Amino acid sequence: MADQKLPYLLKQLERLNSIGVALSAERDNKRLLEMILLGAKEITNADGGTIYSVTDDKQLKFEIMSNETLNIALGGTTGKDIPFSPLPLYLDDGRPNLTTVAAYAVLNDRTVNIENAYEAKNFDFTGSRKFDERTGYHSQSFLTIPMKNHEAVIIGVLQLINAIDIDTREIIPFSAENQSLVESLASQAAVAMTNQNLIEGLKGLFEAFIELMAEAIDQKSPYTGGHCRRVPELTLMLGQAAIDAKTGPLKDFTLNEKEFYELKIAGWLHDCGKVTTPEYVMDKATKLSSIFDRMLLIDQRFELLKTQAECHMLKMQLAAMQNGMQADVAKLKSEYEAFVLQCDEDRDFLQKSNFGGEFMTPEDQQRVRDIAAIPLLDADGRVGPFLSENEVLNLNITRGTLTSEERVIINNHINVTISMLESLPYPNSLKRVPEYAGGHHERMDGKGYPKGLTREQMSVPARVMGIADIFEALTSKDRPYKKAKTLTESLYILGKMKLDNHIDPDLFDLFIREKIYLKYAHRFLEPEQIDDVDETKIPGYQP
């Protein structure tokens, strides 16, 4: 008899070993639980089984259930929820729940092998019996094994129901040999589950830290708040559309689950270098902003200039009256009023110039220099220029609010980003994060920064991120130097950028064709920004 059992036991051991190897390689928690349960059922020829996890609030949560006779498969990868409440390890009065087999196994840290549930005296099988009455099933033999991690902490319970005799197909007790095999499997399974939980925990911590950094950057500047959160969303939208493309230039592009996750991480980290960018540059809402907007000082200077002109006029009028030159009195007043009017016009002009949304023509720049040369008396009575050299430099910024020096500072964030990201010890699955995140300011014609890469030198994910970064900035309502643009305005500018070889043409066309812009708009834009887009009028768009 023992000789007859030997081949079967060897087969079970081989199967146990193969399951253990598979468990160590599995990275999906739901598939892992499914492999554990199905493997245990196979080794013992059990009809059914359940895996519970121990929750932080001391309950046993149903994770996966399977029963061959009743054709039940719940939890795991099935996508079907288990409609049973968790089993408490402790009763409402605080006493240990020793009448429930699974709870008993956890609380006493021991395997429970029951030959016949209908004859068991120490456990409450009321629920099983009601289940049997309702379904016509017969829950007889039970094998319940606590699952302990590497620290000997019980993290779950494996429970098998109804061992089936291979020859007679009758329900039999779980043998001592099968119990030993399943205990070995449970030990391996617990280690695999612990490893998976550790991996998921580290992954969750990693993502939380990344999102925390992105949030810190957004909080650093009220004018870019949300940028680090919106760009990843738009990146993934366009990235998924590229993966789904069945025709056209992108039909062969694909990313697996790990590569798509890599793109997500790059999206979250694309502006991490801004942690080093000074706030006065990031938040420069007007050309004269520093700690405060210096236009306020210039407004006061105009009032002082008018007061000085008025004092000069009154002195000259007094002298004219003393010399009997009455005609000069009226002339002086007329000249003063014209000067005041000119001051008000010059002030309005400088106030308008202070905002960076308009293009400064050479004529406007010369007018700034002319205003700067107006003489103004200081507190010591010395004559000086109305505007300082720094004020002239800032007011004559051609477009935007940043000087060339300040633009170098803010553009340097991408160098810092790349340096920071390249210094991290990535696993192989995240090796391309620096490349993806560091390329969103490059251009297809090689005129971008920091490396001057051309389209051929850039990966598709890096090009995806470039479009996402630009479109978010165009539609953002929280930038200091412009009002939020509508979809039509934003797509017109984006189309011009395609024609200018700034962005990837194939991804741009996909962005329009699949209406990624509209999906993004409904999630993140204000209703007044979502206008009716006439795609036929978008520059460069090829349907």
Q: How far is 255 from 40, CA to CA, in rounded Å?
A: 35
pTM of the model: 0.68
Q: How confident is the model at residue 476 (pLDDT cuts 50, 70, 90)?
A: confident
Lowest-pLDDT choice from 69-78, 197-206, 305-314, 333-342: 197-206
Lowest-pLDDT choice from 107-111, 293-297, 501-505: 293-297
Lowest-pLDDT choice from 121-130, 189-198, 234-243: 189-198
Torsion (CA) 487, 492, 496, 497 in degrees, nearest 10: 0
Tokens of 206: 């990693």
Q: How confident is the model at residue 23 (pLDDT cuts 50, 70, 90)?
A: low
| Angle (CA) 73 74 79, round 5° | 115
Q: How far is 289 from 397, CA to CA, in rounded Å?
A: 13
pLDDT value of position 19: 65
Q: How confident is the model at residue 226 (pLDDT cuts 50, 70, 90)?
A: confident
CA distances from 451 to 271, 414, 441, 456 (A): 16, 10, 9, 13
pLDDT at position 509 over 90: yes
* Residue ranges in 26-164 assigned as alpha helix (H): 29-44, 101-108, 126-135
Q: How confident is the model at residue 2 (pLDDT cuts 50, 70, 90)?
A: very low
* Sequence spans of domains, the chain: 2-199, 221-283+420-537, 295-401
| Angle (CA) 306 311 313, round 5° | 90
pLDDT value of position 237: 97
Amino acid at 452: G
pLDDT value of position 12: 61
- Written as one string, the DSSP assignment of 33-70 is HHHHHHHHHHHHTEEEEEEEEE-TTSEEEEEEEEETTT
Q: How much is the mean pLDDT over the chain?
A: 88
More confident residue, 131 or 219: 131
What's the 3-state SS for 230-241?
Answer: HHHHHHHHHHHH
pLDDT value of position 1: 41
Instruction: Calculate mean pLDDT across residues 158-178.
Output: 92
Instruction: Calculate mean pLDDT across residues 426-454.
Output: 93
**Euclidean distance between the first and the last CA atom of the chain, given in angstroms as a whole number:** 76
376-394 confidence digits (pLDDT tens): 988 888 999 999 999 999 9
Q: How confident is the model at residue 242 (pLDDT cuts 50, 70, 90)?
A: very high
Burial of 217 (0-12, 13-18, 19+ CB in 10 A): buried
Looking at the chain, the whole-number percentage of residues with pLDDT higher than 90 is 56
CATH code linked to domain 221-283+420-537:
1.10.3210.10
Secondary structure element (H or E) that encloses residue 146, with its range: strand 142-148
pLDDT at position 3 over 70: no
Quote the CATH superfamily of domain 2-199: GAF domain (3.30.450.40)
Q: How far is 310 from 326, CA to CA, in rounded Å?
A: 18
Tokens of 82: 């288990």
Instruction: Calculate mean pLDDT across residues 423-449.
Output: 92
Instruction: Calculate mean pLDDT across residues 422-442.
Output: 91
Q: How confident is the model at residue 157 (pLDDT cuts 50, 70, 90)?
A: very high
More confident residue, 285 or 174: 174
More confident residue, 315 or 188: 315
190-205 confidence digits (pLDDT tens): 777 777 777 777 788 8
More confident residue, 403 or 88: 88
